[in-house]
Amino acid sequence: YTGTSGTFSPDAWYEAVKRGRTFVTNGPMLTLTVGDGMPGDEVRVGKDAKLHVHGQAWAPESIGAPQVLEIVAEGKVIKSIASRASSQEKLVADFDVPADESQWIAARTTAYNGAVAHTTPVYVVVNGRSFIDRLNVQQLVAKQLKALDWIETRRVANPQNTARWGPGLVEAVW
């Protein structure tokens, strides 16, 4: 999302990507707002605030009309909207959510033809507290360390994968 000025520029596009105003898709379009925030934003609120969530997925049937639109908070679906038929080209989720704790909120959709889209999260910060998943932090760190170990041992340390890399690139990755 580069704004509503009506004029596109590469600089505006790069700035939007840096801000996290993004979503990935192989078909359907997807938008999300949480309170006044868009994907990539940090929304700061006090405890027990209510946030208005608005998500929308759309695509013509020829590209892959959305079958389900889900709003996800901290990895759990908090709202799911299903279409009635593959000819329904738009799904909308429009609801309020209590801001009981800090969390990230994102939107995702799956189309009838299997195409998918997912937004960057909106980060909700309640009373200045981090949105880290405290219950699962050890498991999440272990998972990331395992992924890094795989990259190091299977890719960077393997000359079959790095033989064509330019000078200094292996060291830079390490």
Does the pTM surpass 0.75? The reply is yes
pLDDT given for residue 159 in this prediction: 87
pLDDT of residue 124: 96
The first and second tokens of residue 88, run together, are 């329904």
Alpha helices in 25-136 (DSSP H): none
- The single-letter DSSP state of residue 153 is I
Q: What is the mean pLDDT of residues 8-20?
A: 92
- The pLDDT, as a whole number, for residue 102 is 92
Locus of tokens 């009635």: 84
Q: Which helix (H) or strand (E) holds 17?
A: helix 10-19
**Six token digits for residue 41:** 């934003």
With 80 as the cut, is the pLDDT of residue 131 above it? no
pLDDT category, 136, cuts 50, 70, 90?
A: confident
Secondary structure (3-state) at 26: coil
The torsion angles phi and psi of 71, rounded to 5 degrees, stand at -105, 125
